[in-house]
Structure 1
Amino acid sequence: MKNKAVILGCNYYIGLSVIRCLGTQGVHTVAVDYTEEKAYGAESRYTSERLITPHYKNDPEGFIAQLIDYAQKEIVPPVLFPCHDSYLEIVDKYLPELRKYYLISQDIQGIYSRTMNKETLHQLAIENGVAVPEIVRIGEDNLIDKVDRLIKFPCIVKPVDSPSFVSRFRRKLFKVNNHEELEWALKQAKEADLEVFIQRIIPGFDDHMYTFDAYLNQESNVTHWATCQKYRQYPINFGASVYTGQRYVQELYNIGAPFLESLKWKGFAEIEFKRDSETGRFYLIEVNCRMTNLNNLLYKIGLNMPWITYQELTGGELVPPKAITEDTDYVFWYGYEDILAIRDYVRSRQLTIAQIFKSFFKPKAYAIWDWKDPRPAFSHFSIIAKKFARRLFFN
């Protein structure tokens, strides 16, 4: 009997892409969420089974208990795929218990949390000789003087715990342009009881953002990898990828592979870098520990990361090592948020209509749309339409 794949979080396109990557290989996929509402990823034709659990934050013990109860009924252990940072946090917290019943890439408890924590990640990078933007910690002596002298305005106020910050403020960070805005941002974080720090902005437009996407086997060696370049993100300047292309950059492997291997990482990881427009130096910005937004792009260029993971963990035939060392010209496109991003880029005069129009003539790896599996796209469109209708009639 084949091992099932349990996918946590299907109300976003990462979960959807994991379902498709495994379902096309004949894997029995279990789409897990705390409600059927808005879980458009579970509408995929490649979803074999759906499971509704208690909310991972409101009732974490109930959530874990149901996951364990489900796996205990299986003849062979399922493979667990957390597809959101919040799911990853709770998996990390209960990792020893979950590993008794599930196949999970990582076996070191705490490694996910330490890497997702921006402050500990900053220290890990420094210890391994990887460049990171300068920071000032809240509570340091002469804080304002250090910001003026070392960080300078504009700068960003960044959370230590990103999922909690995003859940509260619906943004990844605060960009501040002066002392007054800095004081306001620090006050907001304090009132929310969220730990933050102040970080220098690396100069360069959004197309100076790059990713190193890699799979590390159970010996913590990089076996599969590719590099990508962002073109547009939403929210603009400090958001998630909405239009990103595969681009081969050997230097990103030279920096990223030794760093992940030194952490004894296992499974998939994505390092986000920014290239300094003045010096050309790459700075580590963050590490995505779960499957990436760009998962469908990686699939299109020949790296089926969920399947690579599944085969190794279940003892199947290993997928031969592979690196994408040429430019394929493929781009990842999340059309809905890219429209919003384009609006803001044009309004702020960071891009022209001509520049945007020219960028579209590339082969696409869509975030949601698939001719062979259209139902999730229709479901997502319905969700967006209802949201606009509420704004129109109730605001």
Structure 2
Amino acid sequence: MNNKAVILGCNYYIGLSTIRCLGIHGIHTVAIDYSAEDRYGSESKYCSERLIAPYYKEDPKGFIQFLIDYAKKQSVKPVLIPCHDSYVEIVDEYLDEIREHYLIPQTEKGLYTKVMNKETLHALAVEKGMDVPETVRIDEENFIEKVESTLKYPCIVKPTDSPAFVAHFRKKLFKVFNREELVAAIEKSKKANLEVIVQRIIPGFDDHMYTFDAYMNQDAKVTHWVTCQKHRQYPINFGASVYTEQKYVQELYDIGAPFLEAIGFKGFAEIEFKKDAETGKFYLIEINARITNLNNLLYEVGVNFPYITYRELTGSPLEPYAVKEDKHRVFWYAYEDLLAIRGYLRTGQLTKKQVMQSLMKRKSYAIWDWKDPKPGLVNFRKIAGKLLKKN
């Protein structure tokens, strides 16, 4: 355990749960952020070092040099774990340089970006025989007519580069109900220099969203996996998991594992699927190529993905394991779930009774941990401060 674990992005609970998953095994964890503000993840008692690096968007070469300089000071190569899409993108861009100094699962430069980019992922999925939502590209001839005849309204205008889109618009996509809204959404995206595609909305409430979370070893073979079912997301209908349950669905492995292995993926990946409410068919929606929001849930049902990554890269891989039963446990990000519940109730998508019944399940919290309370307290103060300012 001489190899340190360098975690990129600790101002969110993904970085926090990664620090905890490694720290409980006595691994030296290093939290790296570009700002000292709001980095509550590094307040964990399991965090060994806290560093501030140059901002990767403003000074990418300075950021990479910072990582390299840090690694050169170590007696053995650290393990590098990016916990945000933007960190994954820059690691992918400089993968060859980084791999000289860090242990990182992926060996093929560009593959992370390929699976994160909605357009190239769509092409990969079609090539490998995966079901994907029908898509129209805005540079196609008569694209509006194609949207109206093939996809129909409402449909979604979706970015090819999600991190950049979310950073600019503070939402994952535009849902449009007519031609005017379609044209306006495309114009907004063009002004922001963001590429978009238009997709059919797969029918089904948010509980038709599922995930296949898996680790692929250096032979690109799935060794560990868990499947989950979303119940609520925020923003509602097209957002991130805020209330998600571990649910064993063998079909997701049968679809997802061959695809990830066929494209030669290595390391952790989460495939998001949507089950068509009319046909029961699972459609690939997107892939997260970094530790997931649900990480604490996955850990508490028996699969510690950051530790699995660390052990394999440092030469002592863990035995393969999959969760093939329902553990009746949910991931809960309380703050955003309360906002989501308000939205579902307002739109009539859920009743108060349905919400109350769902909240009875055992929970894996996004941030709070009685054994490691400081990150939760720091984050609570931040949220309370925001709420007071609003009032």
TM over 0.5: yes
**How many aligned residue pairs are there?**
391
Superposition map of 1:218-367 within 5 A: 218-316=218-316, 318-367=317-366
In the alignment, residue 45 of structure 1 is paired with which amino acid? K
Residue by residue over 1:308-359, the C-alpha shift from the partner in whole angstroms, topping out at 9 and shown as x without a partner, is 100010113x211111111010100000000000000000000001000000
Give the CA deviation at 1:219: 0.5
Whole-Å Cα distance in 1 between the matches of residues 390 and 168 of structure 2? 21
For residue 129 of structure 2, give the secondary structure of its aligned residue in structure 1. coil
Q: Secondary structure at the match of 2:15?
A: helix
User: Aligned runs of 1:38-117 on 2, under 5 Å?
Assistant: 38-117=38-117
Instruction: Find the aligned partners of 2:110 and 2:386 in 1 and give their Cα distance.
Output: 38
Q: Describe the SS at the equivalent of 1:104.
A: coil
Deviates more, 1:380-389 or 1:241-250: 380-389
Q: Deviations over 1:26-65 (max 9, x none)?
A: 0000011011110000000000000100111011111111
Distance 1:56 1:123 in 2: 29
- How does 1:132-147 map onto structure 2 within 5 Å? 132-147=132-147
Task: Supply the distance in 2 between the matched residues of 1:337 and 1:64 (Cα, whole angstroms).
Answer: 33
SS of the counterpart of 2:210?
strand
Give distance in 2, aligned partners of 1:97 and 1:238. 36
1:179 has 2:179 as partner? yes
- Match of 1:257, SS? helix
**Distance in 1 between residues matched to 2:302 and 2:325, nearest whole Å:** 12
Give me the whole-angstrom Cα distance separating, in 1, the residues matched to 2:177 and 2:74: 55
User: SS where residue 70 of structure 2 aligns?
Assistant: helix
| TM-aligned CA deviation for residue 388 of structure 1 | 1.8
Structure 2 unaligned spans of 5+: none
Match of 2:376 in 1: 377
Per the alignment, in what secondary structure is the counterpart of residue 270 of structure 2?
Answer: strand
CA distance in 1, matches of 2:199, 2:364: 33
CA distance in 2, matches of 1:195, 1:169: 13
Q: Secondary structure at the match of 2:248?
A: coil
Q: Give the whole-Å Cα distance in 1 for the aligned partners of 2:58 and 2:158.
A: 25
- Secondary structure (helix, strand or coil) at the match of 1:365 reads strand
State how 1:171-210 maps to structure 2 within 5 Å: 171-210=171-210
Q: Secondary structure at the match of 2:252?
A: helix
How far 1:391 moved relative to its partner? 2.3
Q: Which residue of 2 aligns with 1:24?
A: 24
Report how far residue 364 of structure 1 moved.
Answer: 0.8
Q: Which runs of 4+ in 1 moved over 6 A?
A: none
| CA distance, structure 2, for counterparts of residue 14 and residue 221 of structure 1 | 24
Query: Residue 224 of structure 1: SS of its match in structure 2?
Result: strand
Q: CA RMSD in A?
A: 0.7
Give the secondary-structure state (helix, strand or coil) at the position aligned to 1:233: strand
Give the Cα–Cα distance (whole angstroms) in 2 for the partners of residues 383 and 61 of structure 1: 32
The answer for unaligned runs of 5 or more in structure 1 is none
- Return the letter of the residue paired with 2:18: V
The answer for the alignment partner of 2:217 in structure 1 is 217
Q: Give the structure 2 partner of residue 391 of structure 1.
A: 390
- 1:118-133 to 2 correspondence within 5 Å? 118-133=118-133
Letter in 1 for 2:299: Y
The DSSP-based 3-state class of the residue aligned with 2:324 is: coil
Alignment deviations for residues 247-285 of structure 1 (CA, whole Å, 9 cap, x no partner):
010100000000000011111000000000000000000
- Corresponding letter in the other structure for 1:198: V
- Alpha-carbon distance in 2 for matches of 1:76, 1:140: 51
Aligned-partner SS, 1:197: strand
- 1:86-130 Cα shifts (integer Å, max 9, x gaps): 000000000000001000000100000011010000010001110
The equivalent of 2:152 in structure 1 is: 152
Displacement after TM superposition at 1:389 (Å): 2.5
